[in-house]
Chain A
Amino acid sequence: MKKLEAIVRPHVLDAVKTALQEVGIVGMTINEVKGFGRQKGHTETYRGSEYKVEFLPKIKIEVALADEMVDAAVEAILKTAKTGKFGDGKVFVSALDQVVRIRTGERGEAAL
């Protein structure tokens, strides 16, 4: 099992969600997050004083999925979240030791 964390631009969320559903993902968790990468922030002025918007708003999507679905899921995200400009975000894939469905107590892939 793998855990997939994708940081994407807020406005692509719907497209990414639909694409992930199409490749067979049945659940996900999202968060409104802030951060910076190569996009850095940008500088604005307010009443003549500069301030830097360092942490830009993004959406973090978390998905737990079976090993064989990872490639398709990453592909779906790349297809829908890419604009080609700085700030498109990243996808982190990591190993997932255990999953438990709270309602039934099922464990492992059965709980996905």
Chain B
Amino acid sequence: MLRSMSRSRLVRSFALGATIAIGVFALRTIGARAQEPSPSAAAVAPAVTEPAAPAATASTAPVAAPAAAATPKPPDPTGAITGTAADVAVKDPANPTIAEVMETVGHNKISINFVWTLLAGFLVMFMQTGFAMVETGFTRAKNAAHTFSMNYMVYPIGMFGYWVCGFAMQMGGVGAVAALGGTAPLNSEFTINLFGHAFGLMGTKGFFMGSDVYDVGVYTLFLFQMVFMDTAVTIPTGAMAERWKWSSFLCFGFFMSMFVYPLFGNWVWGGGWLSTLGKEFGLGHGHVDFAGSSVVHMVGGMAALAGAIVLGPRIGKYTKDGKPVAMPGHHIPMALVGTLILAFGWFGFNPGSTLAGTDLRISVVATNTMLAGTGGAITSMIYMMWRFGKPDPSMMANGMLAGLVAITAPCAFVTASVSMLIGAISGVLVCVAVFFVEGTLKVDDPVGAISVHGVNGAWGVLSLGLFADGKYGDGWNGVPGTVTGLFYGDARQFFAQCIGTLTCAAFVFTSFYLFFKLVDVLIGNRVSAEVEIAGLDLPEMGALAYPEFEIATSTGSSGALPAPTPMPAPATAPVPAKG
């Protein structure tokens, strides 16, 4: 019995082996046939560029080729003979001109930059996943589908708005981006003149990515800038989670991606007035923000602050005497995975912001980025253990993100040890800021978005003004010389950073405060108390995140120490908070 079984197995495996052998043989035959014409094709190819005369040889080539042309390239397991002079297109391989070689070198340089920038952009796109997981993990199960859906829809909504007019307003006047081979069509900036100085306000070219900007460089820039914008737009969803009406969220998504983000982005990255503070007023290199501590994170954080103030705290967040009540997130592992995804995506965010794989400073940028994240995670953990005896996982996550946010502006301009220091300060700063926002301002921010992105975004751009070591950034924003911070001798650079920070805070906060107040009047920002208590998943989204496990309680936790305030004020009159 056993033997007969093993024998039949033997027969079967033999048959299988034979089939594979035949298959491989057939494939190799086909492969060889496919290769055969290649020498003749190679012989024909250069002939195309040559004058008409060799046409006759071309016609005879198929016959002559196997013998006459260079022997076909053998397999190259080590890569030593792949990619040679033969791969450079020249008219006469025997006498390549320097111009032809230069052209190839230039094309290759820009190719490397394109590939680098696009891949970095793909990494940043993946950060949407990280944000969705962090924010959903830190909120309660009854709102998980709603929180995740906001983080999901912000991607297409933001992209749509950015395609309509966001990109044009932000980058329409950026001029030629040399690293991308010159983005020639983006040449139109709306500028006003005050006191004899030019103030660029917004770009005016590239609406709908129309045919006037149909250019490979512009398309690369669009993709990269688009994912940055989406990162900013997804930040406020965390601070406003668990009570935000879906329709108000939709309005917000368009407003931010079409107007507020592009305007501030233009002022810093698109050739606008903050970037020309150096050229026009001698303030260092103007407001410098390498990868977006202010443009992306502080903008997101300030929008989050305005939104959370107008929305008011979640029901049960504060006791009658104003003490904050803990509302633990429902999925800490999800939040920590999200944090690591964000840290991974940051390798696209910061090093990608060179827009150039040929700028070898990328190694410094990438290393600085990871070091600052580490510094933030460690100091926030130590701080929480010192204050409360245990390393609160949610604050460890906030700490790493805080370090990453802070290093985003200075990552290209500082040393490794300074990066660690900037991150370490962020880790403590984010803890203090969370307690301040929640305990003193009485603003309810379930995930710490205001503290992580707003506060540490500001710290990031300011730290650049302090610690930039003068080794990098020659010619940045059109100002000759390298970017140098206060501690390395350029106080005016720090001053420019202060102006950028204050502008961001004032402009973004005011815009969104007014916007949310207006939405409050028109359609309302907040769900009803009944919906909030039941959880937003069914009433707002029509789907429960976890239908099999649903137990709806008023706070979602197993009971809170101080009795929560019973029923809230109606949605239109949120619990007052200092603003």
Q: B554-567 vs A: 1/0 string, CB under 8 Å?
A: 00011111000000
The complex places the Cα of A51 from the Cα of B435 at a distance, in Å, of 15
A34 to B557, CA, bound (A): 13
Contact of B280 with A by CB under 8 A: no
B561 & A45 in contact (Cβ 8 Å cutoff): no
Interface magnitude class on chain B: 20 to 34
- For the complex, would chain A's binding face be called helix, strand, loop or mixed by DSSP majority? strand
Contact in complex: A47, B558 (CB < 8 Å):
no
Nearest A residue (CB) for B329: A46
Q: Does A11 interact with chain B (Cβ within 8 Å)?
A: no
**Which single member of A34, A48, A52, A53 contacts B438 (CB below 8 Å)?**
A48
A41–B434 CA distance with the chains assembled, in angstroms: 26
| B326 A50 Cβ-Cβ under 8 A | yes
For residue B392, CB closer than 8 A to chain A, the reply is yes
Interface members, chain A 44-69 (any B CB < 8 Å): 44-55
The residue in chain A whose Cβ has the minimal distance to the Cβ of B446 is A47
Enumerate B525-567 residues with CB–CB distance to A below 8 Å: 557-561
- Assess the B558–A55 pair: CB atoms within 8 A: yes
- Name the A residues within 8 Å of B561 (CB-CB): 43, 50-52
B439 within 8 A of A: yes
**CB of B388 closer than 8 Å to a CB of A:** yes
- CB atoms of B559 and A52 under 8 A apart: yes
Question: Interface 1/0s, chain A 16-35, versus B by CB < 8 A?
Answer: 00000000000000000010
Q: Note all chain B residues with C-beta closer than 8 A to A34.
A: 558
B328 in contact (CB, < 8 A): yes
Known: A50-B326, A55-B559. 15 other contacts (CB 8 A): A45-B326, A46-B327, A46-B394, A47-B326, A47-B434, A47-B438, A48-B324, A48-B392, A48-B395, A48-B438, A49-B438, A50-B561, A51-B328, A51-B560, A52-B559
Task: Chain A residues near B434: list those with CB within 8 A.
Answer: 47-48
Residues of B within 8 A of A41 (CB): 559
Tell me how far the C-beta of A56 lies from the nearest C-beta in chain B, rounded to whole angstroms. 9
The reply to whether the CB of B265 lies closer than 8 angstroms to some CB of chain A is no
Query: Which residues in A have their C-beta under 8 angstroms from that of B387?
Result: 48
Are A51 and B390 interface neighbours, CB within 8 A?
no
Interface pair A52/B560, CB less than 8 Å apart: yes
B200 CB-CB contact with A under 8 Å: no
* Chain B residues in the interface with A (C-beta under 8 A): 323-328, 387-388, 390, 392, 394-395, 431, 434-435, 438-439, 448, 557-561
Option from A45, A46, A48, A52 in Cβ contact (under 8 Å) with B439 = A48
Q: Which residues of B contact A49 (CB under 8 A)?
A: 323-326, 438
Pair B388/A54 contact, Cβ less than 8 Å = no
Q: Are A53 and B326 in contact, with the CB atoms below 8 A?
A: no
**Could you list some 19 contacts between A and B, CB below 8 A?**
A43-B561, A45-B388, A45-B392, A46-B392, A46-B394, A47-B395, A47-B434, A47-B438, A48-B324, A48-B435, A48-B438, A49-B324, A49-B325, A49-B326, A51-B560, A52-B559, A52-B561, A53-B558, A55-B558
Query: With a CB–CB cut-off of 8 A, which chain A residues contact B388?
Result: 45, 48
A53→B394 CA distance, assembly (Å): 18
B residues in contact with A43, CB < 8 Å = 561
Shortest Cβ distance from A72 into chain B, in angstroms? 36
Decide if A53 touches B559 in the complex (CB within 8 Å): yes
Q: Smallest CB-CB separation from A48: which chain B residue?
A: B435
Task: State A52–B560 Cα separation when bound (angstroms).
Answer: 6
Separation of A47 and B394 alpha carbons in the complex (Å): 7
**Contact between chains at A51 and B392 (CB < 8 Å):** no
Assess whether A54 is in contact with B559, with CB atoms less than 8 Å apart. yes
Chain A residue with minimal CB distance to B324? A49
Contacting pair A45 B390 (CB below 8 A): yes
Q: B578: shortest Cβ distance to chain A, in Å?
A: 18
CB closest residue in chain B, given A52: B561
Cα distance, A52 to B326, chains bound together (Å):
9
- Cα A41 to Cα B557 in complex, Å, equals 13
Residues of A close to B435: CB separation below 8 A: 48
Whole-angstrom CA separation of A46 from B387 in the bound complex: 12
A43 to B326, CA, bound (A): 11
B392 in contact with A47 (CB, 8 Å): yes
Instruction: Please give, as numbers and ranges, the residues of chain B lying within 8 Å of A45 by CB-CB distance.
Output: 326, 388, 390, 392
Q: How far is the CB of A84 from chain B (nearest CB, A)?
A: 26
Max count, chain B CB within 10 A of own CB: residue among A49, A52, A55: A49
How distant is B438 from chain A, measured CB to nearest CB, in Å? 7
Which A residues lie within 8 Å of B325 (CB)? 49, 51
CB neighbours of A55 from chain B (8 A): 558-559
Kindly list the 5 A-B residue pairs having the minimum CB-CB distance in the complex, ordered from nearest.
A51-B326, A49-B326, A46-B326, A52-B561, A54-B559
Task: State the Cβ distance, B126 to closest chain A Cβ, in Å.
Answer: 26
Which of chain A's residues have a CB closer than 8 A to the CB of B558?
34, 53-55
Rounded to whole angstroms, the CA-CA distance of A108 and B572 in the bound complex is 61
- A52 contact set on B, CB distance < 8 A: 559-561
Tell me how far the C-beta of A42 lies from the nearest C-beta in chain B, rounded to whole angstroms: 11
A44–B560 alpha-carbon span in the complex (Å): 10
Docked complex Cα distance between A48 and B389 (Å): 11
Q: Whole-angstrom distance between the alpha carbons of A47 and B439 in the complex?
A: 11
Cβ of B431: which chain A residues have Cβ within 8 Å of it? Answer: 48
Q: Give CA–CA (A48, B559) in the complex, Å.
A: 17
A43 to B325 alpha-carbon distance, docked (Å): 12
Residues of A within 8 A of B328 (CB): 46, 51
Residue with the greatest number of chain A CB neighbours at <10 A, chosen from B387, B434, B561: B561
Q: Indicate the member of A34, A47, A50 with the most B CB atoms within 10 Å.
A: A47
Residue of A nearest to B434 (CB): A47
